Amino acid sequence: MVPLHPQRCADEPDLLRWVIPADLLDPVGVVAAAPPPLAGLLADGTLAELRLEPAAVVTRLGPRRSWRDQGPRVRGALHAALGEPDGWHVVPDSGARAGDAVLRTLAQQLLDGSVGRFAAAHGGRIDLVDVRDDVVTVRLAGACNGCPAARSTLHGQLEHRLRQRYPALRAVVDHAARSSASRTTDR
Amino acid sequence: MSSSCHESGQPAAPLTQLPQVALVGAPNAGKTSVFNALTGLNAKTGNYPGVTVSRFAGTCRVGDRKLAVEDLPGSYGLDPVSLDEQVLVDVLDGNGMRAPDVLLIVVDATTLRRSLGFVAQVLARGLPSCVVLTFTDELLRRQGAVDVDALSQALGVPVVAVVGHRGHGIAQLREQLLDWRDWPTPVIPPPVDPGERDAWVESVLSYAGYRAAQPHGRTRRLDAVLLHPILGTVVFFAVMVLFFQTVFTLAAPLQEGVEAFFGVLSGWVSVHVTNPWLSGLLGDALIGGVGGVLVFLPQIMLLFLLISLLEGVGYMSRAAFLMDRVMGRVGLEGRAFVALLSSFACAIPGIMATRTLPSARDRIATMMAAPLMTCAARLPVYVVLIGLLVDPAATFGPFGLQGLVMFGLYLLGAVAAMLAAWTFKKFGDRRGQPTPFYLEMPPYRLPSPRAVLLAVWGAASSFLRKCSTIIVATTMVLWLLLNLPLHSTEQMQAAGVDTADSAAVSAYVVDHSYAAEAGRLVAPVFDPLGFDWRINVGVLSAQSARETFVATLGQVAAAEDPEDPGDALRAMTYSDGPRAGQPIFTAPTIAALLVYFAFALQCMATVGVIRRETGTWRWPLVAFGYLTVAAWLMAYLARTVTSFFVG
């Protein structure tokens, strides 16, 4: 069975994010067709929408239903459907860079969480400046600014963790380094 | 639930009205450390209704509120295979008691993968829960990693990392407990289906960036030696020798201290208390009786100290592993060894330790064998009797002969216990299903001093309680029985007693007391063993608790010759019957007495524990019956053999 667990999405109780292995399904967009059990849930209205995001399937619950009741069914259907990755048909998002919004959320999550706390414990701060074309730009502040270990925090911690959840990530760059035109592009 | 009765800032609220926080987790996950850190030392121990699974409850103050905290029995899952696990499930279901309001799921970070299955089962119950991650320091040290925030997101419940024995993270945990009503719960309970659950565990671990700890280097290197079939066995025997050496040699000076104290006390009483009755009661019964037993407090504390150290370090499960093959000979598994080893301290913790055995048949067989192990209560009796039997200066090779006899008695107990276990396993209840042997080998850790001290304190306080209740009561009653009925001076003079000689008077009083009557009543039973009525009184009084025997002999001897009870015992002669005038404490009689004490189940507390653990009167009665009969037979054998050699 494909490793899988659900996570709530902040402020949107009818959305559920099913975290799946990053390399399982590729494009980002609305799922137009899925293998039978999952398609059935869309057809009978249990699920209102099905989206594929990097390393996750996002499901929107149909009206007047609860996750507590429907969750196990959805999970079972997902397990079955993820067993046949070829049966998925995804319409990639137009505007190409819809992935950036996801990447921004994930990066912010890490900076608010363990990575941010790690930096804070060393007297520093990492601010998110921009996310564009799968590149995350941050600003190192406080003790991080000019600290030789900051680079290893940035790549070892933030970039590594982010890539686990968003495999298409191209780079995490330091705003200061970028303005002086030396871009890190190592993958 | 309790929302209506919960009011902050009401410290006077009874314990049952406070929100109930329950700690659940696998054995060795550090539950008890977290419990101790939350509750401090105000924990109360008790039992769950109907079973002797210890119940630990205390209160925890967070801000201006109070919470009732309970440490539930350790378990690897919620599909009960043992009594402890059944209790856990019953508590969570609120079966027969109030279900907890909040759960703290204690998880060892170094065994996170295995533990998440348990977490899934507990979370599926839908109670507000928080995962308490312990041993994160060890995980880091062994090159492992886990992202606590990501783990919390993936699980859908709060996660707090705590290093219990250092107290790190306890403040955050308290803070977290403050608003348990607002804790997030999983949107969907974790899956029940085993395949889906494995997939869930895998996914949660990978999201939390979990990197398993490297095998514990120290543990691996130590185990290479300590679990080695030959080296490990050698080390094991060395540990055992050291164990008993420490108990006996280290305790000696401490015991002398206690003895000296009671000597001073009894001297003070005989000088300052002039009323002969009161002085007799205080000096002989109270100080003599209780003092004679309290002398063994240092030894008992040492015994428990060493056992809890071995347990805390992690050696006990290795010993169980090594002993599995030996125990296999008698049809038991390695864990039964731990129960039997604990029985060297006291059969009660030993019998309670049988709960770790998954098979009911093994449990019964071990319980029937445990009372044969030489418990601390036999020590006082052995010490006194061996002192009478063997000259302290006698040696055999480099060893003192007294020590060798003591060792022989320990060996006798152990061998008898093994035979008993084998017999009960073979001829006992045959319906039991064989269960697989699984044993967790925790990494070697420095034991937390607090847990060790608490274990020692628990043992000491229960021993002190026993001394201050059962033993005080028995010695007082015995003293009365030995001194009643009252005889007038005329009566004694009529019987030809020189009333000016206090020793002769006490001898007469004791010889015509109610106790003597009782002792003579059972004489036909014990005559073949060479016991006279005074020993019978001792044996009868020892039926409640073995240590009482020493106090009784002291009283009887002191009554005949208050100046020197030790020599008095040696000089004691049969006062009536065909052997009148001959010394009582001859080698054959002492040997019979020693062997009688090695076998007999003279401990009402043990009988009570077997009753509670098995749930019926059948097994305690079986144990009592077979041990008493065996004691008599073996004592008779010992007497016959010794007579043959001594002539």
Q: What is the pLDDT of residues B386-421, one digit of tens each?
A: 888 877 777 777 777 777 888 888 889 989 998 998
pTM over 0.80: no
Peptide bond into B298 cis (omega under 30): no
Determine the Cα–Cα distance for residues B392 and B401; give it in Å rounded to an integer: 7
Among the partner-chain residues B148, B200, B209, the one whose CB lies closest to the CB of A5 is B200
Contact yes or no for A1 and B195 at CB 8 A: yes
Domain A5-92 top-level CATH class: alpha beta
Write out residues 117-156 of A within 8 Å (CB-CB) of B. 117
Per-residue model confidence (pLDDT) at position B81: 64
The more confidently predicted of residues B332 and B629 is B629
Q: Which residues contact A107 (CB under 8 A, 6 or more apart)?
A: A128, A131, A136, A138, A158, A162
Answer yes or no: do B54 and B127 share one domain. Answer: yes
Q: What are the tens digits of pLDDT across the range B503-528?
A: 666 667 777 788 788 888 888 888 88
Q: Could you write out the DSSP letters of every residue in B492-551?
A: HHHTT--TT-HHHHHHHHHHTSHHHHHHHHTHHHHGGGT--HHHHHHHHHTTTBTTHHHH
Q: Does A167 touch chain B (CB under 8 A)?
A: no
Nearest chain B residue (CA) to A19: B203
Q: In whole angstroms, how far apart are CA B635 and each of B177, B495, B588, B594, B597?
A: 61, 37, 9, 8, 9
Nearest chain B residue (CA) to A70: B188
Per-residue model confidence (pLDDT) at position B616: 78
The more confidently predicted of residues B118 and B575 is B118
Domain count, chain B: 3
**Mean local confidence (pLDDT), A83-89:** 86
Determine the Cα–Cα distance for residues B394 and A76; give it in Å rounded to an integer: 79
**Residues on chain A touching B150 (C-beta within 8 angstroms):** 113-114, 161
* Domains of chain A, residue spans: 5-92, 98-179
Contact yes or no for A67 and B195 at CB 8 A: no
Per-residue model confidence (pLDDT) at position B132: 93
Same topology for domains A5-92 and A98-179, yes or no? Answer: no
Answer yes or no: do B162 and B203 share one domain. Answer: yes
Answer yes or no: do B400 and B478 share one domain. Answer: no
Answer yes or no: do B53 and B131 share one domain. Answer: yes
CATH 3.30.300.130 fits A98-179, yes or no: yes
- With a cut of 0.90, is the ipTM above it? no
**Residues on chain A touching B184 (C-beta within 8 angstroms):** 8
Q: How confident is the model at residue B482 (pLDDT cuts 50, 70, 90)?
A: confident
Q: What are the tens digits of pLDDT across the range B318-360?
A: 888 888 777 777 778 777 887 888 787 777 777 877 766 767 7
> Among the ranges A63-72, A112-121, A178-187, which has the highest mean pLDDT value?
A63-72
Paired with A47 in beta bridges are: A61
Within-domain flag for B48 = yes
Q: Residue B408's domain spans which residues? A: 231-427
Per-residue model confidence (pLDDT) at position B423: 87
Answer yes or no: do B66 and B102 share one domain. Answer: yes
B627 pLDDT higher than 90 = yes
Answer yes or no: do B188 and B240 share one domain. Answer: no
Contact yes or no for A3 and B189 at CB 8 A: no
A183 pLDDT higher than 50 = no
Among the partner-chain residues B154, B187, B202, the one whose CB lies closest to the CB of A71 is B187
